[in-house]
Amino acid sequence: MRRLPIFFVLDVSESMAGDNLRQLQQGLERLVRSLRTDPHALETVYLSIIAFAGKAKTLTPLIEVASFYPPRLPIGSGTALGVALEHLMNEIDKNVVKTTPDRKGDWKPVVYLMTDGKPTDDIKNALYRWQKYYQRQVSLVAIGVGEYAALDTLRQLTDQVLHFNAQSEEDFRKFIDWVSQSVVAQSRSVSATTNTGVNLAKLDDSIMAKMGDLTAAANVDEDFVILSGRCQHTRLPYLIKYERMPMSYKGGEFSLRFDRYHLVGVMALENDYYEFSDDSMATPSINTDALVGSAGCPHCGSHYALAACGNCNQLLCVRGEGAAICPHCQYENNFMLSDGEGFDITRARG
């Protein structure tokens, strides 16, 4: 039986942290439950999960649906789309069986690429390789998640660009059901015909739209600030997420507009965060005056998770004033409570 390889290339950057990643994790479990009920999918579909942030890694190599179990999705820093493409192409070269004069190879692979941001690396070389050698040999469905996905970049990879904007868990369930129906439709199509195109289920236009002319698509904007720190006691990483909170002031003949970011939440991470993070990329900074709300450490419960090391400027948690060893560089700091003046801290890449 010829295989139908299905690759899921999933953005696990910091901007996906929280509900998006949790719902994606649950969605993979829902997806495989659905596929196991279809005899065509059971016969032909082989699944692979590739995760990418600043780096890319295969979490699950191509495996039949019956034996597939969703991996735990990690979190990393950066959105290295070029790295992800290179990794995907290498995986296709290694694992997809090509047709030869002596035998039929696998069916044309299908890739579902999901990302919610713009690339933080240079994708030029990967894009050239993709367009020259893979674009016609692989069916790629690119899905921009949320209003800040770089749809114009995705449009360079494929004509199948979708915009998904979930407002609730029910929206995410509808999206996963659509993916399941599309995979099943493709498996039935290749079983019955020699069709090599990609078959997609009907879009639910309440949550998704197919992007044609992207001139009116939303531009990428820095609508959030993500900070990464490390617990002084457990040495485990955490993320602090802020979202834009527009504010304005009008008085007399003039008006001022300025932006602040309000605290959304803090998330405890595991050490595999560093496995998916590219430390070689330059990182911007932000002044703490622009941040509204403070967070404690989700690992040890320390009251302050926004303490910046005086040596490496990385964040750590502290219980209060006094000496503290930085878990990043081992520098001994002596912290005092701020008198209200803001200071610059390094942002994560999202």
Contact by Cβ (8 Å): 183, 139:
no
For residue 100, pLDDT over 60 is answered with yes
Q: Distance between CA 309 and CA 311 in Å, rounded?
A: 5
Residues in contact with 248: Cβ distance below 8 Å, sequence separation at least 6, in sequence order: 255, 256, 257, 258
Q: Distance between CA 174 and CA 123 in Å, rounded?
A: 31
Higher pLDDT, 114 or 276: 114
Confidence band of 54 (pLDDT split at 50, 70, 90)? very high
**Mean pLDDT along residues 110-114:** 96
For residue 211, pLDDT over 80 is answered with no
- pLDDT, tens digit (0-9, with 9 covering 90-100), for 66-82: 999 999 999 998 899 99
Q: Distance between CA 92 and CA 308 in Å, rounded?
A: 43
Residues in contact with 247: Cβ distance below 8 Å, sequence separation at least 6, in sequence order: 257, 258, 259, 260
HSE-up of residue 86 (Cα within 13 Å, Cβ side): 13
Q: Distance between CA 112 and CA 106 in Å, rounded?
A: 17
For residue 215, pLDDT over 50 is answered with no
Q: Distance between CA 182 and CA 211 in Å, rounded?
A: 18
For residue 253, pLDDT over 80 is answered with no
Cross-strand pairs, 11 = 52
**Mean pLDDT along residues 256-268:** 78
For residue 3, pLDDT over 90 is answered with yes
How far is Cα of residue 324 from the mean position of the Cα atoms in its chain? 33
For residue 200, pLDDT over 60 is answered with yes
For residue 96, pLDDT over 50 is answered with yes
- Residue range 4-216, CATH number: 3.40.50.410
Confidence band of 294 (pLDDT split at 50, 70, 90)? confident
Look up residue 97 and give its two tokens. Answer: 């069986």
Looking at the chain, which residues constitute the CATH 3.40.50.410 domain(s)? Answer: 4-216
**Mean pLDDT along residues 121-138:** 94
Q: Give the per-residue pLDDT at 213.
A: 41
Look up residue 287 and give its two tokens. Answer: 């002044």
Q: Is the dihedral of CA 125, 279, 265, 298 positive or negative?
A: positive
Report pTM.
0.78
